[in-house]
Structure 1
Amino acid sequence: MEPLLQSWRFWALLSAAFAALTAVLAKLGVSDVPSDVATFLRTLVILGLTGAILVASGQAHGLATVPGRSALFLVLSGLATGASWLCYFRALSLGEAARVAPLDKLSVVLVAIFGVVFLGEHLSGPNWLGVGLIAAGAVLVAYRG
């Protein structure tokens, strides 16, 4: 068995836990603040935190060695992240966190589709069933019945 800190499953589950906290804390945070201002403030915190991690871990020098192709895709990913966060915070300012977050997690479904179409990844029948159940679950949770 691989060490816990080397397990992608461990980090993915930790990411899910922090994402859940993000939704609840962000919903509380946007109650008295315009959503774009809230997104900007959160981005500053993330920038400071990741900058401190780079410096503390001695990885800051790696910024100068990022290949051009990687930099391009990371910049595009950053733009997509920013757009996602702006939309997410706007949705949270208008709707209930318990309904906004599941629709936001339809990104899981889109990643599966994009991974197959653009990255050549392969999903089995049970994998696609799971993707379908995630989609159905997100829609059902978001449904106001």
Structure 2
Amino acid sequence: MRFFAANWQFWALLSAIFAAMTAILAKLGVAGINSDLATFIRTIVVAAALGMLLIVTGQFAAPGPIPRRAIVFLILSGLATGASWLCYFRALDIGQAAQVAPVDKLSVVLVAIFGALLLGEHLSLRGWIGIALISLGVVLVAIKG
């Protein structure tokens, strides 16, 4: 079990599974209500669940000094998350989950590009080919026909 706890691939796969469940459950949940209200309800649930997790695991304590730079970037990340969720729920409200979710995952492509441009990260040629194939897949899923 220790292998899984320290294995990023394990956690990334779980993330993908939960993200897939999120799309289907959100599509069902947004039916008949305003998508922004649906996003608000989801956000409350996420905040409450994380709070409970921190309490149960004993991590809900004063973290000590947090660098101002970290706070600024975490606030910006939170705003980006909120904007992403609002847009995602709006898209689910008017589109099919099987089309919305893959287009949303275009974020994978954008992270690779932004990571290279802004963070100096490097992908191999094989990695960039994979990113290109993801892009192609998104286009094929998004095009009606």
Correspondence 1:1-145 to 2 at 5 A? 3-145=3-145
SS of the equivalent of 1:61 reads coil
Contact 1:23 1:101 in 2 (8 A): yes
Give the partner amino acid of 1:91.
A
Contact 1:35 1:89 in 2 (8 A): yes
After superposition, what is the alpha-carbon deviation per residue over 1:77-135, rounded to whole angstroms, capped at 9, x for unaligned?
00000000000000000100000111100000000000000011001110000000000
Shift of 1:63: 4.4
Relative distance call for 1:144 and 1:101 in structure 2 (3 A) is same
Shift of 1:41: 0.1
Give the partner amino acid of 1:87.
C
Give the partner amino acid of 2:88.
Y
CA distance in structure 1 between the aligned counterparts of 2:76 and 2:63, rounded to whole angstroms: 16
Contact 1:109 1:131 in 2 (8 A): yes
Give the partner amino acid of 1:107.
S
Relative distance call for 1:8 and 1:115 in structure 2 (3 A) is same
In structure 2, the gaps of 5 or more residues are none
Contact 1:116 1:122 in 2 (8 A): yes
CA distance in structure 2 between the aligned counterparts of 1:53 and 1:65, rounded to whole angstroms: 22
Contact 1:102 1:139 in 2 (8 A): no
Relative distance call for 1:140 and 1:51 in structure 2 (3 A) is same
Count of aligned residue pairs for this structure pair:
144
Shift of 1:138: 1.0
Query: Which deviates the most, 98-107 or 49-58?
Result: 49-58
Shift of 1:66: 2.4
SS of the equivalent of 1:65 reads coil
Structure 1: 4+ residue segments shifted above 6 A: none
